[in-house]
Amino acid sequence: MSDVLEVQLEKPFIHLLDTRLARELLEPASTAEWQINNTARGGHASGKWAHPDIVLTSLRRYRSRAVPELELFGFELKTSRGFETSAVHQALAHLRYVHYSHVVVHCPSDEDWEHKLASVRFHAQTHGVGVIRLRSASENGEYEISIRAQRNDPLPSAVDRFLEERLPDRLAWIDQRLGKE
């Protein structure tokens, strides 16, 4: 099992997300701008499964739409030891205000990974929660998207409330790109 703590995954995962993974999740990335925030701490806590650890805020422009599209991607970080069915349900709870939710698991051992993934695959696929494996806890480590997240459509009022409570420093960036002053 891993001796790495969840908090030690935050900085390397943010680096990975910003340099490589976001482009894959946002394919085609050429239509998107994004910002990444660590939401694991700070703000008011509203429960055990209150919010994702990391949030990717994306704005995409399409020729066929007059207004850019806002999408939020949530990431719940887990060590191999913490990766079980409850982790999928924790990420599922985040779909009340994000469009895509993922469990990100640090699991270097292939044998452990196959065993862990087998026990949660059904729940993740049934609920549209993505699963991403980190092979190492380093900034340039390898990853694999084991299960792709399915898009969810949370209530716009819930998304707005989440942005105001957890990402207040991103509101000006979002409003500017959406053409709101």
61-82 confidence digits (pLDDT tens) = 888 888 889 999 999 999 999 9
Q: What is the mean pLDDT of the chain?
A: 91
Q: Is residue 1 assigned to a domain?
A: no
For the segment 18-27, the average pLDDT, to the nearest whole number, is 94
Joined together, the tokens standing for residue 30 give 């050429």
Q: How many domains does the chain have?
A: 1
Q: Is residue 52 assigned to a domain?
A: yes
107-128 confidence digits (pLDDT tens) = 999 999 999 999 899 999 999 9
Joined together, the tokens standing for residue 91 give 């990420």
Which residues are CB-neighbours of 109 under 8 A, at least 6 positions away?
80
Please tell me the distance from the alpha carbon of residue 123 to that of residue 109, in angstroms, as a whole number: 22
Q: Is residue 24 assigned to a domain?
A: yes
Half-sphere exposure (CA, 13 Å, Cβ side) for 101? 25
Question: Where on the phi/psi map is residue 101: left (φ > 0), alpha (ψ -120 to 50), or beta?
Answer: beta
pLDDT at 48: 62
Q: Is residue 71 assigned to a domain?
A: yes
CATH code at position 41: 3.40.1350
Q: Is residue 155 assigned to a domain?
A: yes
Q: Is residue 108 assigned to a domain?
A: yes
Residue-number span of the structural domain to which 79 is assigned: 6-177
